[in-house]
Amino acid sequence: MIKDITIGQYLPGDSFVHKLDPRVKILISFAYIITLFIVKNYVGYGFIIAFTLIAILTSKIPVKYIFNGLKPILWIIIFTAIFNAILTPGDVIYRVGPVKFTDKGIYLAIFMVIRLIFLIIGTSLLTLTTSPIALTDGIERLLNPFKRLGVPAHELAMMMTIALRFIPTLLDETDKIMKAQKARGADFESGNVINRAKNLIPILVPLFISSFRRADELAMAMEARCYRGGEGRTRLKQLKIANRDYIAVLATLTLIITCILSRRW
């Protein structure tokens, strides 16, 4: 289950999506997320599904690999759907004892499930097709206009990228600790919720220690390479907007316009 989390992982490739400018991909991701919450009907979500599938196929990343990333949040999706179905007022269409499923509740539950699923897929696709270095450069360039307001663009970009980069590392470390604890007789699956939470303590303590050790090693490695922040730093690869970036922006604008128009259909 832990290995199925795809956020923060990067799969090298030579596809159309991989070659897009990181600034363009970040802006498209923000526009994609906003569009998810603009849509109010199934027609709009049809356009979003088609756009997402085209992006996945264009990125040449296995569809199964991307959808495996939904496994860790499966229970969140199920609980969200159930709560929306039974807590939203409307005409009762099904009853199980005191629990009532309403028509508006089921309608809203389906919408929330679609939003959560494609929200995870969209954010995963960004990190899967963008290297940490390119992601850092893209975030920094987008934050550069705010430097006049005192915003430390380079430092913020570095922190966000390091946080994303260390998600797979910490998950891998958690998996190793769990296997080591199970080899010593630990049981993480039996008992009620409280007992399971208590059983996680032997995992959290070594995980925190390992995280602090990795952070200290990273700081020493950056100091050894004379890292002193973004002031005066140069880059081997300069970011340039190409024709494929304009095509991606045009496709995204088309998606946004069609989704807005679909609200009237």
- pLDDT tens digits, 15-46: 899 889 989 999 999 999 999 888 888 888 88
Backbone angles phi and psi of 246, in degrees to 5: -65, -35
Q: Tell me what the mean pLDDT of segment 62-85 comes to.
A: 80
7 is in which domain, residue-wise? 2-262
What's the Cα-to-Cα distance from 71 to each of 92, 120, 250, rounded to whole Å? 31, 11, 32
264 vs 44, more confident: 44
CA dihedral 142, 146, 150, 151 (to 10 degrees): -30
* Residue 112: per-residue pLDDT: 86
Contact between 252 and 32 under an 8 Å Cβ cutoff? The reply is: yes
What gap in Å lies between CA 239 and CA 168, rounded to an integer? 26
Kindly report, residue by residue over 207-260, the tens digit of the pLDDT: 888 888 888 888 888 888 877 766 666 666 777 888 999 999 999 999 999 988
Averaged confidence pLDDT in the chain: 81
Q: Tell me what the mean pLDDT of segment 71-97 comes to.
A: 79
Q: Is the model's pLDDT at 2 over the cut of 60?
A: no
Categorize the per-residue pLDDT at 130 as very low, low, confident or very high, splitting at 50, 70 and 90: confident
pTM to 2 decimal places: 0.75
Cβ neighbours around 197 below 10 Å, total: 10
* Number of folded domains that form the chain: 1
